[in-house]
Each structure stands twice: as C-alpha cells, then as structure tokens.
C-alpha cells in the first residue's frame, strides 16, 4: 500500500508500522468512524501519539496525523513549524504545511464521522472552529488508547530500555543524595544522565519532600530548598528512552528515621507489590487491580491521591486507568505504570513510589527490579 514509504528513517520495521495502522483502523471501523485525527503538541509526555503514527517527534508547536479507515495517511503542520523538527523522519509521504491546519483537515473530512484523539485537551481552538460543523467529531481518546494498549515485542524492548535508563537514573539520584544539598543539586546529575542516554526532552522529573521523616503530597519542580537530615525525599522520575516509550521508576529516600505514617505506608507498599504480582494478569480487570493494590492503604486509613496506575506507552498517561469501576480487561503484553499515592488523613504526609509493570498470563512483572523499600542514602555505589 502507498500509505507509508518503503524506507523508514527512524529504523522502525515496516511490519510494526503496518501493525499500528491496522489496530487503529480496526478499532475505528468498529466505532463506525470514517477517519481518525490524532493531535499532538509539545506538552511533555503527551506528544507521543503523533510519533506513534508517524515517526515525527514534535519539537515545538503542534501537528496532526490524519488516518482514514481507507486511504493514505497525512501529517499536517502549521506553516510556522516548517523548520522546527526533523520532518524527514516521518514515514508518511503526504506532509502538509498550511496556515490553518483545521481548514485543510475540514476539506479532507467534510461530511464524515471522525474520531479525534486529543479533542478535549490538545486540538487548538482555531482548528476546532474550522472542523466543527464540517464533520461529526467524536472524542476518541479511549478508543485510540485501547487499540494500542497491547505492546508488540519491539515496543516491549523499547520499554525495557527506558526502564534501564530510568532505574539507573534513580541510582544516580541516590548517589548524589546528601543532606545539605539542594533539591536541584541532587536532581541535576540525574537529568544529565537521562540526556546522555538519548532521552532528550523526554523527561518529566519532580520531587516531593518534607520534614520529620515524611514527604508533603504535592509534586514540585526541584528548587533551592536544602534537604535536612530528617527529611523524606521522593523523586518522581518519568522518562522515555530513544524509542519514545515512557516509563516511571523511583523509590523514597530518608537519611533519618521515617515517621510513623511513612512506616505504615511502607507496609502497605510491600502488600501492594505482592498483590500486583498476582493481579496484573490477563483476564483480570483494571478495577480488580485497583482494589487489590489499594486494599492495604485503605485498611490503614490512608487516602489515595493522583491515580493508582495507568497504561503507559508513547504517551505518558494512556487508557485504561487502573481505578475504581474501570472494567477494561487486562491482556498479556500491556505495560502499566503503578504508583499508589498514599496520603495521611491530615494531608501532611505521603509516600509515592513508581514502578513499570508488564502484564503476562501468569501475573505482573516489575521491570526495574529495585527492592521495594525506603532507602537511607548509605546505598551509594
């Protein structure tokens, strides 16, 4: 078929490209769609849907991929982005630069039923205004993510490489950790390592910290605050390696004595880790997984903030979410980020540690292999 070039500049095998298109087209046909528009912009961690379908990495501004159920795809850029990004990396032959991408898309899909990935959060207002009324637009984030939620062997290899980088990044953070240093001083070597391994701008690293053996529950950009000997520090490390697959791996660090709340949260984390090994298997649901891994936290009276877990791929947060009432059935080959965000009833203490899991027929496999515990900083290499 003429939808993609015979040679791909990204090195992605032709069979993998065709697999991705087939999965999305089959899901679109089931939902009675004529075409799919995938939106992406430079919002870190949420640009990857465009890369998934085109090979193009957004450096600045935004782009759309139009994938008809029948016919050739196109990738559409605003004119001002002509020299931003390496456009030769896309395997899509039809590359379009126009002042108003929405008008161009409207001409292509006029009168059709179109699923839009990113309709609520990503598509620009000016492009939506051009498309609205020209076609029947259907919010299709769930449909698109479900179509790609089972990873190919090539994708799992990319995930494993991202996990290797992220796990080593935590060890770099641990090596740099020392009371008296600022948050920035501890995180900076970690970011340098990620860039050296090909992550580029695909990093979203934050910290949670606080006094007296507990961390406050709000994520923040590493700043000038200096770490005290009694502080709890939780690095939130999220990266995508050269293959573009996002992962999350981290552990808590406390040079002093963890608080009573932190110790009880740690007990629940050990229980979650064992429960996840059993429940993250094909045939279980995302609801089953949420109930199993959250039980130990609820039994101890803790609240759960953020999201217990979610599918993770070339977009940082994909459907299905691992949460209450999400009945999506887990399948072997899915990759999930799990990170119960345990918060004390007074909101002054939390524990947040991340792992990337592979769903198999026999149960969940944590890909990082880091011991599930609170580190104290003496584990430096």
DSSP class per residue in 245-310: -EEE----EESSPPPHHHHHHHHHHHHHHHHHHHHSBTT-BHHHHHHHHHHHHHHTT-EEES-SEE
Provide, rounded to the nearest whole percent, the portion of the chain with pLDDT above 70: 97
Q: Are 375 and 174 in contact (CB under 8 A)?
A: yes
Averaged pLDDT for residues 26-54: 97
pLDDT for the residue 11: 75
DSSP single-letter state for residue 87:
G
pLDDT of residue 4: 42
Find out if CATH 3.90.650.10 is the number for domain 14-147.
no
Q: DSSP character for 215?
A: B
Query: Tokens standing for 375?
Result: 């580190």
CA 95, 96, 101: angle at the middle one, nearest 5? 135
User: Please, what's the b/e burial string for 233-262 (b: 16 or more CB within 10 A of its CB; e: otherwise)?
Assistant: bbbbbbbbbbbbbbbbbbbbbbbbebbebb
What phi and psi values does residue 72 have, to the nearest 5 degrees? -85, 150
d(C-alpha 310, C-alpha 316), whole Å:
9
Contacts of 73 (CB under 8 A, 6+ apart): 3, 4, 21, 53, 54, 65, 66, 67, 92, 94
Residues 48-91 have pLDDT tens digits of 999 999 999 999 999 999 999 999 999 999 999 999 999 999 99
Question: Is the CA virtual torsion 134, 139, 141, 146 positive or negative?
Answer: negative
Return all residues near 204 (Cβ < 8 A) that are at least 6 apart. 44, 45, 236, 238, 239, 316
| Mean pLDDT value across residues 114-126 | 96
147-174: pLDDT as tens digits: 999 999 999 999 999 999 999 999 999 9
What per-residue confidence (pLDDT) applies to 8? 38
C-alpha 220/C-alpha 202 separation (Å) is: 18
CATH code 3.40.350.10 region(s) in the chain: 14-147
Q: What is the dihedral of CA 39, 45, 49, 51, to 10 degrees?
A: 110
> What integer best gives the mean pLDDT of the chain?
96
Task: Identify the pLDDT of residue 5.
Answer: 40
Lowest mean pLDDT among 177-181, 304-308, 366-370: 304-308
pLDDT, position 7: 36
- pLDDT value at residue 227: 98
CATH 3.90.230.10 domain position(s) in the chain: 153-366
Q: How high is the pLDDT of residue 223?
A: 98
* CA distance readout (Å), 253 to 188, 243, 321, 353, 375: 17, 29, 27, 10, 5
DSSP strands (E only) in the chain: 35-41, 62-68, 74-78, 94-98, 113-117, 136-139, 206-210, 232-236, 238-240, 246-248, 253-254, 303-305, 309-311, 318-322, 335-338, 341-343, 350-352, 355-360, 363-366
Q: Is the dihedral of CA 362, 366, 162, 343 positive or negative?
A: positive
* Mean pLDDT within 43-49: 94
- Give the DSSP H or E segment for 131: helix 125-131
Average pLDDT for residues 242-257, to the nearest whole number?
A: 98
Q: Which CATH architecture has domain 153-366?
A: Alpha-Beta Complex (3.90)
Which whole number is the average pLDDT over 240-250? 97
* Band (10; pLDDT cuts 50, 70, 90): low
Query: Tokens 């791929």 map to which residue?
Result: 313
Q: Residue 319, preceding bond cis, omega within 30 degrees? A: no
Given pLDDT bands bounded at 50, 70 and 90, which one contains residue 381?
confident
Give the pLDDT confidence score for residue 178 in this predicted structure: 97
Retrieve residue 54's tokens.
Answer: 């085109």
With beta carbons less than 8 A apart as the criterion, state whether 297 and 340 touch. Answer: yes
**pLDDT mean over 289-294:** 98
Cα dihedral 56, 62, 65, 66, rounded to 10, equals -160
Are residues 312 and 248 in contact, defined by beta-carbon separation less than 8 angstroms?
yes
- Model confidence at 1, pLDDT cuts 50, 70, 90, reads very low
Q: Are 306 and 351 in contact (CB under 8 A)?
A: no
pTM of the predicted model as reported, rounded to 2 decimal places: 0.96
């Amino acid at each position: 078929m003429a939808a993609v070039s015979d040679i791909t500049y990204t090195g992605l095998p032709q069979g993998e490209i065709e697999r991705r298109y087939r999965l999305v087209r089959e899901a679109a046909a089931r939902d009675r769609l004529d075409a799919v528009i995938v939106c992406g912009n430079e919002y870190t961690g949420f640009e990857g849907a465009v890369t998934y379908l085109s090979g193009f990495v957004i450096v600045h501004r935004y782009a759309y991929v139009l994938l008809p159920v029948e016919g050739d795809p196109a990738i559409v850029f605003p004119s001002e982005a002509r020299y931003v990004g390496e456009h030769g990396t896309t395997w899509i032959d039809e590359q379009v630069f126009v002042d108003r991408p929405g008008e161009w898309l409207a001409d292509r899909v006029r009168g059709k039923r179109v699923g839009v990935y990113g309709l609520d959060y990503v598509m620009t207002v000016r492009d939506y205004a051009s498309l609205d009324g020209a076609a029947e637009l259907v919010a299709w984030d769930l449909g698109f993510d479900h179509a790609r939620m089972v990873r190919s062997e090539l994708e799992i290899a990319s995930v494993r490489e991202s996990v290797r980088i992220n796990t080593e990044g935590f060890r770099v953070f641990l090596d740099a950790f020392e009371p008296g240093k600022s948050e920035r001083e501890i995180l900076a070597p970690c970011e340098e390592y990620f860039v050296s391994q090909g992550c580029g701008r695909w990093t979203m690293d934050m910290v949670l910290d606080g006094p007296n053996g507990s961390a406050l529950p709000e994520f923040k950009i590493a700043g000038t605050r200096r770490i005290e000997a009694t502080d709890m520090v939780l690095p939130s490390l999220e990266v995508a390696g050269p293959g573009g697959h996002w992962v999350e791996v981290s552990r808590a660090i406390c040079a002093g004595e963890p608080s009573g709340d932190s110790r009880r949260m740690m007990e629940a984390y050990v229980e979650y880790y064992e429960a996840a090994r059993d429940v993250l298997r094909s045939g279980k649901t995302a609801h089953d997984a949420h109930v199993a891994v959250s039980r130990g936290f609820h039994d101890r009276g803790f609240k759960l903030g953020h999201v217990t877990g979610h599918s993770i791929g070339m977009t940082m947060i994909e459907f299905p979410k691992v949460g209450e009432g999400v009945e999506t059935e887990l399948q072997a080959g899915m990759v999930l980020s799990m990170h119960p965000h345990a918060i004390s009833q007074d909101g002054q203490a939390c524990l947040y540690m991340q792992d990337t899991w592979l769903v198999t027929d026999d149960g969940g496999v944590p890909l990082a292999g880091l011991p599930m515990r609170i580190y104290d900083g003496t584990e430096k290499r």
